[in-house]
Structure 1
């Protein structure tokens, strides 16, 4: 289905140690994390909070295991800080990624985000910030500027729609995509976040497959999502209670997703990203489970 010369398979470290809740998996070291990723059969990863901050040290450790950096999360604050400060921070992240051989960066607008607030419901109560027209204009212009800088550095900026942020819903994703330059702004398509938001991930993929620059394969346990809605859980409470899992272990139908990507000639990374509590979901066990499912369903 996919050509292994043009499509690579990676996994995020968030199953071993959580960036938003570092106490989840605090016992798991960087060396253990990347070794288990390689043992499970992955060749790439994103960057987590345990990773070395020296790019040479990081690259050496990954090279030893036949691993590469696929991309990294970047928190933008286009709405709440100056573009001068934003550009400086963004370029520093690009420089780090370039030093470890990556050429993609995943941007999430974190101004007014509630994803990291432990006691704020994610699905009920209308707590999520909704941008007005002026904010939308500032946001899209800023995103275009960052995308242009990324392009000048040989990178793709891939925007990550995310629960609790200003771009969560299909409507918000549509507005962001229609008001940004397709030369500079791509989509970090995430099956789990569209599903969690109550959207149709397949419909969104079909609409934007030609602008997908990076793919997060995240499965959802929908009964847990319903519990989150019923009990007014926050995003982090939902994670702790097992809303997310690896492909093949939840309720997302990945076969049509793989087909749409394959038919469109997608090239780049398929990245398993399933934030779970490592004490409840052994990271290596679930990494192998996700890797096996992808092999069986794509041939990769």
Structure 2
């Protein structure tokens, strides 16, 4: 090269797409919290301290009663740490028909009232399990009858209307392993049977992959029904063992089936890009099921996961 020859400019660094419609947060689940009170779980104050330290501005309430249920106190505790609430979570068994409505509503109204008081707009609805998480004992038939599907759809629509009318919240139904709303076939059946105006989906990327579903395909097919995201990955090798052994979800989690991104499936980059392409604002709340876990385990994982998501543009 002679002195008269210009130096070649270095190629620009490749930047991830800006996911400006995705609001990232985390949840008590990522700290090993499954129950309102359990000696194996970290105290709620530690969860709030560490989720803020890890760089997440949004959280979910988790199991009702884990965080303070007095709105004034919870607002003070979250606000002092720069945190905001994106959603509450409820558990339902609406496929059992109108007989369970009063019991369901008693639970839902408690959570919805606190969720509204915290300024959130979503209620995540998780269907009941058909087998016991610990013993693997069958609680119900894994397959619903046609009548139970009708009760499930009608009950969810009623829940969506009542929650919106009374509390101004939108319900988002969470497909979940070991429930009747799980993989591609049952999720599609549920969505086709319900009114999009009042019932939409919380797509949990890990649970949907755990049950054999293609997350990007679901977003592309039912994009207008995706109202909320949970970001999670599964370890495919451990999942193969879980499927082979017919293992319930709880023991599968203890075996480590839900793993730290980006080590598992589905790849989160295309999922986030597909969600961004929907053209609506979406919460994407990180959950890494790991109950129970050592108390010092969650924070380093949360930091690394937040750094990974920033690298994805979120």
TM-score scaled by length of structure 2: 0.86
- Answer yes or no: is the 8 Å Cα contact 1:128–1:165 preserved in 2: no
1:172-211 pair list within 5 angstroms: 172-211=186-225
| Matches of 1:232 and 1:3, distance apart in 2 | 38
1:174 and 1:85, CA in 2 relative to 1: closer, same or farther beyond 3 A? same
Aligned pair partner of 1:55 in 63, 71, 77: 71
The structure having more radius of gyration, on CA atoms, is: 2
1:100 maps to: 118
Over the residues paired in the alignment, what is the CA RMSD in angstroms?
2.3
- Answer yes or no: is the 8 Å Cα contact 1:219–1:251 preserved in 2: yes
| Matches of 1:172 and 1:281, distance apart in 2 | 38
Large movers: runs of 4+ above 6 Å: none
TM-superposed CA distance for 1:72, in Å, is 2.0
1:295 and 1:63, CA in 2 relative to 1: closer, same or farther beyond 3 A? same
TM-superposed CA distance for 1:200, in Å, is 1.5
- Gapped runs of 5+ residues in structure 2? 1-16
1:65 maps to: 81
TM-score scaled by length of structure 1: 0.90
2:9 maps to: none
1:149 maps to: 162
Is residue 162 of structure 1 aligned with residue 176 of structure 2?
yes
| Matches of 1:15 and 1:273, distance apart in 2 | 5
* Number of residue pairs aligned between Structure 1 and Structure 2: 292
TM-superposed CA distance for 1:85, in Å, is 3.4
Summarize deviations over 1:15-51 as a string: whole Å, max 9, x none.
223316965842x111111111111110111123431
Mean Cα deviation higher: 6-15 or 160-169: 6-15
1:233 maps to: 247
Summarize deviations over 1:86-134 as a string: whole Å, max 9, x none.
3343233211111111110011121x532x421328xxx9x86211111
- Gapped runs of 5+ residues in structure 1? none
- Answer yes or no: is the 8 Å Cα contact 1:15–1:278 preserved in 2: no
Mean Cα deviation higher: 88-97 or 261-270: 88-97
